[in-house]
Amino acid sequence: MSSLHNRVAQTLLKQRLQEETEPRTTFSFYRYFDIAEPQVFRDVLYQGLHELKVFGRIYVAREGINGQVSVPRSQFEACRAYLDATPGLEGLRLNVAVDDDGKSFWVLKIKLREKVVADGITDPDFTLNNRGKYLNAKEFNQLAAEPGTIVVDMRNHYEYEVGHFEGAIEVPSDTFRDQLPMAVDMLKDHKDSPIIMYCTGGIRCEKASAWMLHKGFTNVFHLEGGIIEYANKAKEWGIPSKFKGKNFVFDNRMGERITDDVIAHCHQCGQPCDTHVNCANDGCHLLFIQCPECAEKYKGCCSEECRDQPALLSKETGKPHVFNKSRERLRPRLKMP
């Protein structure tokens, strides 16, 4: 029986990934369902996926599961069959990556969480049993084109910045827990209008649709499988993509190219660019957009301060000190939703 946690150094794991010769397939999945014993569910899942050489990040909570993983291409169908045979995950939709280099993850981590998506909801009467209606890619394009339809992006600012659906409303926050009440307030005068909510893979907009219905909205929809499923189906069905730009993803790739449109700009010089990087200074690692010219000028750092000043060690912890950066000028560091 294998260990239920990784015990190998990260540097060695990354090296092993680079040395792999078989291509990997990256995919994401989620499902809201009751898990009576999250720890037991987690341990059994870890054992099975570890044997299939799955890498990635999975969260398990009493409300369900949320995962982003990669698997050797030859094991993809075996992985699908394993998940399908797991109680509660039957028929699970797997959102296969649109733009995949196979190097998204290098280790398997399955963690327990209070919720698979932190929402800040404390209302005891809220339930996920009443959710918005699913829309596939064709249905999304049709309804989004109708007068009076409101399309709402339920992702963080730095995700919206590099790519979004035409005419979509941004809920200007970098946390889902803040976006839920903001969305209700922003749309309070449109409680009977058709409202389409979307996100990366569907997990946030599905919960958001339930919250909007709970708050009295009557005509709420959400995009089935999120942007990832939409992009795949649009290509498969030969329909025009109403999503423009890049889809931000929470793994080593930091983005999937959906269309050739570059709608964002370098945070340092303002030139068109949609490449997210983390500041090269070990005391910062801020997530921001940087063009190749500025990457050379600032040596991969977000500012002259970080470029010219080595990472400072905190006197309290002995670990790199985190510089305070302007949230108006640069975006917050990368976090899992």
Q: Are 105 and 252 in contact (CB under 8 A)?
A: yes
10-112 CATH pick, 3.30.70.100, 3.30.70.260, 3.40.1160.10, 3.30.110.40 = 3.30.70.100
pLDDT at 253: 76
Q: What is the mean pLDDT of residues 31-36?
A: 95
Q: Are 178 and 162 in contact (CB under 8 A)?
A: no
3-state secondary structure of 78: helix
Report angle CA 4, 40, 10 to the nearest 5 degrees: 25
> What distances in angstroms separate CA 335 from CA 107, 248, 258, 287, one per listed residue?
17, 12, 22, 10
Q: Domain limits of the chain?
A: 10-112, 133-237, 264-337
> What percentage of residues in the chain have a pLDDT greater than 90?
71
Cβ neighbours of 15 (radius 10 Å): 11
Q: Are 18 and 101 in contact (CB under 8 A)?
A: no
pLDDT at 18: 67
Q: Which residues contact 19 (CB under 8 A, 6 or more apart)?
A: none
Q: State the DSSP string of 167-212.
A: TPEE---S-HHHHHHHHHHHTTT-TTS-EEEE-SSSHHHHHHHHHH
Condensed to tens digits (0 to 9), the pLDDT of residues 54-67 reads 999 999 999 999 99
Question: If you average pLDDT over every residue of the chain, what do you get?
Answer: 87
Confidence of residue 325 (pLDDT cuts 50, 70, 90): very low
Q: Higher model confidence: residue 36 or residue 336?
A: 36
Cα–Cα distance, 158 to 173 (Å, whole number): 9
pLDDT at 329: 40
Condensed to tens digits (0 to 9), the pLDDT of residues 218-252 reads 999 999 999 999 999 999 999 999 999 999 887 67
Confidence of residue 315 (pLDDT cuts 50, 70, 90): very low
Is-catalytic flag, 199? yes
pLDDT at 336: 33
Q: Which residues contact 177 (CB under 8 A, 6 or more apart)?
A: 118, 119, 120, 121
Q: Higher model confidence: residue 285 or residue 326?
A: 285
User: In the CATH hierarchy, which fold is given to the domain comprising 133-237?
Assistant: Oxidized Rhodanese; domain 1 (3.40.250)
Residue 27 bridge partners (DSSP): 69, 96
pLDDT at 11: 72
Condensed to tens digits (0 to 9), the pLDDT of residues 254-276 reads 788 999 999 999 999 999 999 99
> Which of these is catalytic: 199, 266, 279, 291?
199
Residue 14 has pLDDT above 50, yes or no: yes
Residue 37 has pLDDT above 60, yes or no: yes
Confidence of residue 174 (pLDDT cuts 50, 70, 90): confident
